[in-house]
Amino acid sequence: MAMRISNKILNGLIQQANRELSNSNAYLSMSLWFQDRELPGSAQWCKTQSDEERMHGLKIFDHIVKRRAKGALVHAIGQQKFSYDDPLQIWEKALEQEQLNSVAIMDLVRQAREEGDYTTDTFLQWYVAEQLNEETSVKDILENAKRVAATTGLYVTFDSQITRKPH
């Protein structure tokens, strides 16, 4: 019975996989924005996150295939426009994106439990833990970015290097 999957769960997994791919695209756009402004650290972080989000989507499609479910479709992302005025907007958008993703995953977990689909429930537990890590990481970056913005970034940069200064 581990291979049995309802159409409702299947559709939810397909939507989640496509959400992960859309998030990958958003992080790639964020990375390019940072590259354009010669902020290589943030650009690299977002590019790596883009790769991870893509892997998350593919992992869900692999799960669907393993269960011999039919109908897994990659949806066209459509034209997305990403326009930001400053790094804070990017990190706020990234946090919002991660929080929405967490809600969607929790909804899938709830649905799987209601249907007694313990295979999907178990599979999704990795995503539950991953979302905690991702929300925490982005929240930390956002809080640091707010502090940098408040001080124009100069003191925070100096402070991060101060322990390497000779006495």
Q: Residue 97, annotated ligand binder?
A: no
Q: Residue 131, annotated ligand binder?
A: yes
Q: Residue 53, annotated ligand binder?
A: yes
> CB-based contacts of 125: which residues, under 8 Å, 6+ apart?
109
> Is residue 42 a contact partner of residue 88, using CB atoms and an 8 Å limit?
no
Q: Residue 56, annotated ligand binder?
A: yes
Residue 65: Cβ-neighbour burial (10 angstroms; 0-12, 13-18, 19+): exposed
**DSSP sequence for 69-112:** -S---PPP--------SSHHHHHHHHHHHHHHHHHHHHHHHHHH
Q: Residue 135, annotated ligand binder?
A: no
Positions at the binding site for Fe cation: 20, 53, 56, 98, 131
